[in-house]
Structure 1
Amino acid sequence: MVKKLVLLMIGIMMAALFAGCGNDAPKEQAGKKIQVVTSFNAMAEFAKAIGGDKVEVSTIIPDGVEPHDFELKPENMKQLATAQVFVYNGFGMEPWAQQAIDAAKNSKLITVVATDGVEAIKNTDPEEIKEHGAEDPHAWLSLKNAKIEVKNIKDAFVKADPANKDYYEKNYNEYVAKLDAMIKKYEDQFAKAPHKNFVTGHAAFAYLCRDFGLEQNSVEDVFAEGEPNAAQLAELIKYCKENNITTIFAEEMASPEVSKTLASEVGAKVETIYTIESNEDNKTYLERMDENLTKIAASLQ
Structure 2
Amino acid sequence: MLKKFILSIVVLSMLLTLSSCGTNSTANNSTADTTSKKLKVVVSFNAMREFVSAIGKDKVDITTMIPNGTEPHEFDPKIKDFQTLTTAKVFVYSGLGMEKWADKAVESAENKNLIVVEASKGADAIKNSDPDEIKEHGEYDPHIWISPKGAELESNNIKEALIKADPSNKNFYEKNYADFKNQLDSLYSDYKSKLENIPNKNFVTGHAAFAYLCRDFNLKQNSVEDVFAEGDPSTQKLQDLVKYCKDNNIKTIFVEDMASPKVSNTLAKEVGAKTQKIYTLESKEDGLDYIQSMKTNLDEIYNSLK
Q: Which band: TM-score by shorter chain?
A: 0.7 to 0.9
How far, CA to CA, are the matches of 2:267 and 2:132 in structure 1? Answer: 25
Seen in structure 2, the aligned counterparts of structure 1 residues 166 and 225 have a Cα distance that, compared at 3 Å, is farther
| Structure 1 residues not aligned, in runs of 5+ | 1-27
Task: Tell me the residue number matched to 1:137.
Answer: 142
Indicate yes or no: 2:163 matched with 1:158: yes
Quote how far apart the aligned CAs of 1:126 are: 3.2
Matches of 1:228 and 1:100, distance apart in 2: 37
Report how many residues are paired: 273
| Cα separation, 1, equivalents of 2:164 and 2:263 | 47
Q: Within 5 Å, which residues of 2 pair with 1:89-168?
A: 89-168=94-173
Separation of aligned partners in 2, 1:31 and 1:66: 31
Corresponding residue of 1:209: 214
Which deviations, in whole Å up to 9, do the C-alpha atoms of 1:206-245 show, x marking residues without a partner? Answer: 00000000000011149x8555433222111000000000
Q: Secondary structure at the match of 1:276?
A: coil
1:49 corresponds in structure 2 to 54
TM-score when scaled to structure 2?
0.86
Please report how far the alpha carbon of residue 117 of structure 1 lies from its aligned counterpart in structure 2 after TM superposition.
Answer: 1.3
1:197 aligns with 2:202: yes
Alpha-carbon deviation of 1:127? Answer: 4.3
Whether 2:254 is the aligned partner of 1:273: answer no
Q: 1:67 to 1:279 in 2, by over 3 A?
A: same
TM-score by length of 1: 0.87
AA matched with 1:79: T
Report the alpha carbon displacement of residue 30 of structure 1 after superposing the two structures with TM.
11
Residues 29-38 or 277-286, more deviating? 29-38
Partner of 1:173: 178
Structure 1 match to 2:240: 235
| Inter-partner Cα distance in structure 2 for 1:156 and 1:142 | 21
Q: Does structure 1 conserve the Cα–Cα contact (< 8 Å) formed by 2:35 and 2:61?
A: no
The one-letter amino acid paired with 1:181 is S
Give the deviation of 1:118 after TM superposition.
1.1
| Alpha-carbon distance, 1:189 to partner | 0.5
How many angstroms apart in 2 are the aligned matches of 1:106 and 1:229? 50
Trace 1:257-272 onto structure 2 (pairs within 5 A): 257-272=262-277
What is the aligned partner in structure 2 of residue 300 from structure 1? Answer: 305
Distance, in Å, in 1 between the alignment partners of 2:57 and 2:127 is 34
Secondary structure of the residue that 2:169 maps to in structure 1? helix
Separation in 1 of the partners of 2:216 and 2:149? 7
> What letter is aligned with 1:290?
K
Per-residue CA deviation, residues 52-97 of structure 1 (Å, 9 max, x unaligned), is: 1000111001111111100011111110111100000001000000
CA–CA distance in 2 between the matches of 1:242 and 1:127?
25
Q: Point out where structure 2 has 5 or more consecutive residues left out of the alignment.
A: 1-32
User: Over the residues paired in the alignment, what is the CA RMSD in angstroms?
Assistant: 1.7
Name the counterpart of 1:21.
none
Q: How many Å separate the matches in 2 of 1:288 and 1:184?
A: 16
Q: Give how far 1:123 is off.
A: 0.8
> Distance in 2 between the 1:296 and 1:128 partners?
23
Q: Percent identity?
A: 57
Alignment partner, residue 77 of structure 2? 72
- Give secondary structure in 2 for the equivalent of 1:287: helix
